[in-house]
């Protein structure tokens, strides 16, 4: 983990309330897809945790939904704004564990962003993962084209049927022969994927409410089969066999 000053370099509106934010600055502490950063937003005491969507040397891409006051301030910041950011937090996904399987990357809503760097990590190992994206409706859809541009097969579900397959993301996973899920999204989605008979193993990322973000405040503990874990430090990615729902 390190603390860095990042400068907002680019902003792209993806939906009515979701923005892609590109920053410049030291990204050397980021080692794995699925890690997150904890970002200080002006006027807010607690930092806001946001998943790493993509990174390169001196470049960080985040995708943020303008939900409450903190993320609205973040998304509304002008180009050139500087942010104090804790970088390289959390364990991230372990791609090697999935290499002997048929992996599907499963994202719901703002759980989609970390899957982008994860897809790139699989491709770098010579494996093309299937990507299954779930949204409420077509107006919430983002990043389908970006995953396709990587060369991944992309399946989309919407709850209201306005785009792709009608229903939950499990409905599109059923259309594949994938047996290993790497997921990020709301807990009901994670739970539904975990309970699918075809998914024999997987890794699930949890978006718990956080205080410090680096293991010091025990504000994010959860029970697992191997004892209590801190989602920010021991997670946010947990393996299928250790999760207590």
CA distance 98 to 121: 12
Contacts of 201 (CB under 8 A, 6+ apart): 97, 98, 101, 179, 180, 239, 240, 241
Cβ closer to ligand FES: 149 or 218? Answer: 218
Q: What's the closest the beta carbon of residue 220 comes to ligand FAD, in angstroms?
A: 8
Which of ligand FES, ligand FAD, none lies near 212, with the C-beta cut-off 5 to 8 A by kind? ligand FES
Burial category of 132 from C-beta neighbours within 10 Å (exposed 0-12, middle 13-18, buried 19 and up)? buried
- 180-to-112, 114, 131, 147, 183 alpha-carbon distances in Å: 17, 17, 12, 18, 10
Q: Which of 74, 155, 173, 210 binds ligand FES (CB under 6 A)?
A: 210
End-to-end C-alpha distance for the chain, whole angstroms: 29
- What is the smallest separation between the CB atom of 89 and ligand FES, expressed in angstroms? 9
> Residue 61: which of 15, 107, 6 has the closest Cα?
6
The correct pick among 230, 236, 237, 238 for binding ligand FES (CB under 6 A) is 230
Of the two residues 4 and 18, which places its CB atom closer to ligand FAD in the complex? 18
Alpha helices, H only, 97-178:
114-124, 144-150, 169-173
211 binds ligand FES (CB under 6 A): yes
Answer with the entry of ligand FAD, ligand FES, none that 216 interacts with (C-beta below 5 to 8 A by kind): ligand FES
What's the residue count for the chain? 245
Interatomic CA distance for residues 135 and 51, integer angstroms: 18
Sequence-ordered list of residues with C-beta below 8 angstroms from that of 156, at least 6 positions apart, any chain: 132, 133, 134, 135, 141, 144, 163, 164, 165, 172
Q: Which does 190 bind (CB under 5 to 8 A by kind): ligand FES, ligand FAD, none?
A: none
Return d(Cα 202, Cα 194) in angstroms, integer.
Answer: 8
Binding status of residue 167 toward ligand FES by CB under 6 A: no
Smallest Cα–Cα separation from 16: which of 179, 135, 149? 135
CB 40 to ligand FAD: min, Å: 11
| Residue found under tokens 């309970």 | 195
In the list 232, 237, 238, 243, the residue contacting ligand FES (rule: CB under 6 A) is 232
User: Where do contacts with ligand FAD occur on this chain (CB under 6 A)?
Assistant: 36, 46, 48-51, 63-65, 67-71, 110, 113, 207-210, 236
Nearer to ligand FES, 84 or 128 (CB): 84
- Looking at the Cβ atoms of 159 and 222, the one nearer to ligand FAD is 222
Q: Please choose, out of 96-104, 146-154, 193-201, 205-213, the segment that lies near ligand FES by the rule CB under 6 A.
A: 205-213
CB of 18 to ligand FES, least distance (A): 24
Choice between 67 and 218, CB closer to ligand FES: 218
Shortest reach from residue 84's CB to ligand FES, in Å: 17
């Amino acid at each position: 983990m390190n603390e860095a000053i990042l400068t907002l370099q680019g902003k792209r509106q993806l939906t009515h309330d979701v923005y892609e934010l590109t920053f410049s600055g030291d990204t050397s502490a980021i080692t794995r897809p699925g890690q997150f950063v904890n970002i200080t937003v002006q006027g807010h005491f607690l930092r806001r945790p946001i998943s790493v969507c993509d990174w390169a040397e001196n470049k960080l891409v985040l995708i943020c939904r303008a939900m409450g006051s903190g993320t609205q301030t973040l998304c509304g910041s002008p180009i050139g704004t500087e942010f104090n950011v804790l970088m390289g937090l959390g364990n991230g996904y372990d791609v090697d564990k999935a290499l002997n399987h048929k992996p599907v990357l499963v994202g719901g809503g703002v759980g989609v962003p970390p899957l982008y760097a994860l897809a790139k990590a699989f491709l770098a190992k010579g494996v093309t993962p299937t990507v299954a994206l779930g949204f409420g409706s077509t107006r919430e859809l983002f990043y389908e084209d970006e995953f396709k541009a990587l060369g991944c097969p992309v399946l989309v579900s919407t709850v209201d049927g306005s785009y792709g397959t009608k229903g939950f993301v499990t409905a599109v996973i059923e259309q594949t022969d994938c047996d290993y899920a790497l997921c990020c999204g709301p807990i009901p989605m994670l739970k539904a994927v975990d309970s699918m008979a075809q998914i024999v193993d997987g890794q699930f990322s949890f978006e718990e409410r956080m205080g410090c973000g680096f293991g010091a405040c025990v504000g994010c503990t959860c029970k697992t089969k191997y004892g209590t874990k801190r989602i920010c430090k021991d997670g946010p990615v947990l393996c299928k066999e250790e999760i207590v729902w």
